Amino acid sequence: MTEERIVFIGGGAAGATAALETRKRNRDAKITVIEAGPYPQYSCCALPFVLGREIETYEGILIFDEGFYRDYGKLDLMLNTRVVGIDRESKMVICERCSVGYDKLVISTGSYAFVPPIPGIEGIGLGKRTFTYKFMPEAEALDRAISDANKVVVIGAGLVGIEVADALRRRGLDVTIVELLPTVIHMMLDEDMARLVTDELENMGIKLMLGTKVEGIEETEGSVIVSIPGERLEVDACVIASGVRAETSLAKKAGLDVGMGIIVDDHMHTSDPDIYSCGDCIETTNAVTGRRTLDQLGSSAVRQARVVAANLAGGDIAIRPTLSTSITHIGSLGVAAVGITSNSARDSGFDVLTARFKGSTLPEYYPGGREITIKLVFTPEKKLLGAQIIGTDGVLARIDTISAIMQLGGGLDELNYLETAYTPPLSPTIDPICLAAGAALKKCERARRG
Amino acid sequence: MTEERIVFIGGGAAGATAALETRKRNRDAKITVIEAGPYPQYSCCALPFVLGREIETYEGILIFDEGFYRDYGKLDLMLNTRVVGIDRESKMVICERCSVGYDKLVISTGSYAFVPPIPGIEGIGLGKRTFTYKFMPEAEALDRAISDANKVVVIGAGLVGIEVADALRRRGLDVTIVELLPTVIHMMLDEDMARLVTDELENMGIKLMLGTKVEGIEETEGSVIVSIPGERLEVDACVIASGVRAETSLAKKAGLDVGMGIIVDDHMHTSDPDIYSCGDCIETTNAVTGRRTLDQLGSSAVRQARVVAANLAGGDIAIRPTLSTSITHIGSLGVAAVGITSNSARDSGFDVLTARFKGSTLPEYYPGGREITIKLVFTPEKKLLGAQIIGTDGVLARIDTISAIMQLGGGLDELNYLETAYTPPLSPTIDPICLAAGAALKKCERARRG
């Protein structure tokens, strides 16, 4: 019998992690990773932090170099290789210039930047003065373009939009964010919490134009002109950060079940038992609503990849529905969320209550404590639907703890009386997340009394 | 009908919190807090940090002043008042100079410093050059005594011992710790993890004499002489930090059920349905072993107090068994633990495996990541028994998250695939606690295969 052939389409966070984890468990398989781009795996999430120069070089965010895959991973990494089809009958991955046979296939094609249908956009060659921001080559191109720029417009105030705006501002540029919605990162934050972020952005000197529709875009010799109602913003560069879409075209063409993303079961199988999928290209199940969703977080991709590798090696690992536990760093603020926002909860038919609590990361008497704001979203029956946390310190500790509680089925009662670790220089006697739960429980009580 | 009379014996963290929380839920009750000491509630845990001058004054760690209890709390705080008996028949608390009737009574008498039977100790008047370290007056006396001291011996390397040694060293003193056991904070850490703490203490210039029995102590006009095998340490002051004991004498005298501590049910009732108890004076149930234990953490006292207050107000809150989730800060290290150590697990009859994992608080490519060491204690059946974490940053986040998982009944599988929040400036894609669980699971697999 010949060696098992395992092929990964896509060498990003999901594909590369799954391939290397597979190698750890299977010394004999022939493992091939086919990547369309010119680089081995790098951290997409880190691109804005190279732009902001917290990380020195783009090379620095390559997780491993090519030699590592070859020498340590003993796997065949094919860069700059575009897959054009999957022949499920003959179990072949068809590339432009070659074909690769597989016994097991993993589709980890990720996502691509969505370009909204702005009038004029089709006449612009992206990558000169107008950029999407998803992959390293375009991030590098933007970085080169701003070296002699003064003014930039960022279209979109999602995570990538505000992270890029933050980085550009720290590079000394005059930055304007234009966002159609009246708020920022609305997937993570309720409007009242988002206001803490807009305040921070404005304090940094970033101009925010919320609730503002981009009506046109054009490039001239020396500038980009972004038209909004009553105004033409003439800038040196424009970043389009309007979200991403799952890259499902190959899967669709191959006849696999595809919705907003590739459909997988909790063992990460697609509708073909020999084909797995993981990363930004798949649909996941939201743990709170039970609905299909696109999670598209780097951490989720890697977690899913570990599950794929375990199951490829004969494991029986089911992935839990996702809570989209996420965090970012804007200006001096840590900004984090888990579960769903109030709006999303109402859309999902929940009877929604909220409680916002402002506490400190340290006991009052200890110097250096930082204000931390915690918002809980819950039902009158004390079910925890989501949490949002913002502060200059200690945000990670609290979001991960609440996330753990929610992942294990706990609610407000469990959070209220949670055992947390206490010592004056590091934490208060009763953590603010517990006090927030106490405040929330009072609202439940009042709601029950009518 | 007259107002309900609720009396609290002891105005420390447990008693004061329970009294104030009771007031929040009951505007009409006559609430009395009887405290033997001269101060309203202060943070005992903060005393070493005043000694070390992170906190400026002892007054600073008083949680509220007397006026607050009177004016805001509308409760009668009797300081310097020693209770000598409880008459359960007539429902009276008997003090030295008065008696106070109760309908409901809460015993929150706390704990006291244990003084080991060192030859010579009975001839010494504590508080001149030799000090225990539990209450504010003795902490203040030590602080005055070291103002012109050079050399100090600390007897005992438990939490209080090493925190006091750390503070004294930062005050510039020549500090020696003498400890009978071959390790430090053995209640929290296995010996291999404790070594990171002893290294830190030694790097600070603190002398450690582990496995060393104190054979005698005597005071002269100008010094204390601590005798150990083959040596007489002549120093300016000596701190006895040999642990605490539950203060149960009143409860015992009143005929309540008492073991190592006052025995309460999960609603914090003593064996008398009209008497509750909480704080350092009670026995709790260890969540891992199911055995009775003395938890004696400030955070536990306050959590128990909140449960007492809720139940006094007609609630039906059961407290969960304890995991003794705890943390301290020594030198530059955060040092934390949850559950039980390897030794304790073996003593409890578990089949014990351990895994130690060294990770980083940030992705490798992001500058400023700090090494963090995680040790997990578990069974071959993947049950998590305990965790120990040491690092210069990010320790709180990880211990609270693991604690939450354990509190909600999760084990290694849940920890391995836990959703944690990721952004390069604040956290790695897969958290080191998850990677530690992955390493632990491999050990389980190997153990099952034999």
Dump the DSSP string for A131-180.
Answer: EE-SSHHHHHHHHHHGGG--EEEEE--SHHHHHHHHHHHHTT-EEEEE-S
Considering CB atoms only, which of A306, A398, A408 is closest to B410?
A408
Let me know: does B442 contact B353? Beta carbons within 8 Å. Answer: no
Question: A403, B425: Cβ pair inside 8 Å?
Answer: no
Question: A400, B420: Cβ pair inside 8 Å?
Answer: yes
Band of the pLDDT at B1, cuts 50, 70, 90? low
CA distance A444 to chain B (A): 14
Band of the pLDDT at B268, cuts 50, 70, 90? very high
Residues 6+ away with beta carbon under 8 Å from A443: A353, A354, A355
Query: What is the mean predicted confidence (pLDDT) over B140-148?
Result: 95
For B57, the closest chain A residue by CA position comes to: A365
Considering CB atoms only, which of A45, A338, A429 is closest to B299?
A429
User: From the candidates A302, A317, A320, A429, which should be mutated to test the interface with B, based on the most B CB atoms within 10 A?
Assistant: A429
Q: Where in chain B is the domain with CATH 3.30.390.30?
A: 332-449
Rounded to whole angstroms, the Cα distance separating B102 from A201 reads 57
pLDDT digits (tens, 9 = 90+) for A117-170: 999 999 998 999 999 999 999 999 999 999 999 999 999 999 999 999 999 999
Residue A333: strand pairing partners: A330
Band of the pLDDT at B2, cuts 50, 70, 90? confident
Question: A396, B427: Cβ pair inside 8 Å?
Answer: yes
CA distance B92 to chain A (A): 32
Which residues does chain A have within 8 Å of residue B367's beta carbon, measured at their own beta carbons? 54-55
Query: What is the mean predicted confidence (pLDDT) over B326-338?
Result: 98
CA distance B248 to chain A (A): 24
Domain B332-449 indexed as CATH 3.50.50.100: no
Which residues does chain B have within 8 Å of residue A417's beta carbon, measured at their own beta carbons? 303, 306-307, 317, 319-320
**Long-range contact list for B364-367, CB < 8 A, 24+ apart?**
B364/A63, B365/A43, B365/A46, B365/A55, B365/A60, B365/A61, B365/A63, B365/B424, B366/A46, B366/A49, B366/A54, B366/A55, B366/B424, B366/B425, B367/A54, B367/A55
Question: B367, A54: Cβ pair inside 8 Å?
Answer: yes
Considering CB atoms only, which of B409, B414, B424 is closest to A43?
B424
Considering CB atoms only, which of A60, A319, A338 is closest to B417?
A319
* Torsion (CA) B102, B103, B106, B107 in degrees, nearest 10: 50
Q: What is the pLDDT of residue A1?
A: 53
Residue B375: strand pairing partners: B356, B388
Query: What is the mean predicted confidence (pLDDT) over B427-450?
Result: 95
Q: Which two tokens stand for residue B94?
A: 């008997």
Query: Of B323, B313, B324, B316, which Cα lies nearest the Cα of B106?
Result: B313
Q: Tell the burial category of B443 from Cβ atoms under 10 Å away from its Cβ (0-12, 13-18, 19+).
A: middle
Whether B399 shows a pLDDT value over 80: the answer reads yes
> What is the identity of the amino acid at A359?
G
> What is the identity of the amino acid at A40?
P
Domain B5-112+245-312 indexed as CATH 3.90.1310.10: no
Q: What is the pLDDT of residue A347?
A: 96
If DSSP codes are grouped into helix, strand and coil, which group holds residue A282?
A: strand
Question: A400, B422: Cβ pair inside 8 Å?
Answer: no
Beta pairing class for A174-178 and A292-293: unpaired
Place of tokens 């390397």: B157
Q: What is the pLDDT of residue A2?
A: 73
Report ipTM (2 d.p.).
0.95
Query: What is the mean predicted confidence (pLDDT) over B55-78?
Result: 94
How many CB atoms sit inside 10 A of residue B202's CB?
A: 12
- The interaxial angle of helices A298-312 and A13-25, nearest 10 deg, is 30
Q: Where in chain A is the domain with CATH 3.50.50.60?
A: 5-112+245-312, 121-242
Q: Where in chain A is the domain with CATH 3.30.390.30?
A: 332-445
User: From the candidates B362, B400, B445, which should be mutated to test the interface with A, based on the most A CB atoms within 10 A?
Assistant: B400
* Torsion (CA) B81, B87, B91, B94 in degrees, nearest 10: -20
Query: What is the mean predicted confidence (pLDDT) over B382-393?
Result: 98
Q: Which residues of chain A have pLDDT under 70?
A: 1
* CATH code assigned to B121-242: 3.50.50.60
Q: For domain A332-445, give the CATH superfamily.
A: FAD/NAD-linked reductase, C-terminal dimerisation domain (3.30.390.30)
> What is the identity of the amino acid at A305?
A
Which residues does chain B have within 8 Å of residue A317's beta carbon, measured at their own beta carbons? 417
Question: B395, A426: Cβ pair inside 8 Å?
Answer: yes
- Give the predicted TM-score (pTM) of the model: 0.96
Q: What is the pLDDT of residue B92?
A: 98
Question: B422, A328: Cβ pair inside 8 Å?
Answer: no
- Run of H or E residues at A384: strand A384-391
Catalytic site residue A45? yes
User: From the candidates A45, A400, A430, A433, which should be mutated to test the interface with B, based on the most B CB atoms within 10 A?
Assistant: A400
Considering CB atoms only, which of A366, A394, A408 is closest to B55?
A366
Q: What is the pLDDT of residue A383?
A: 98
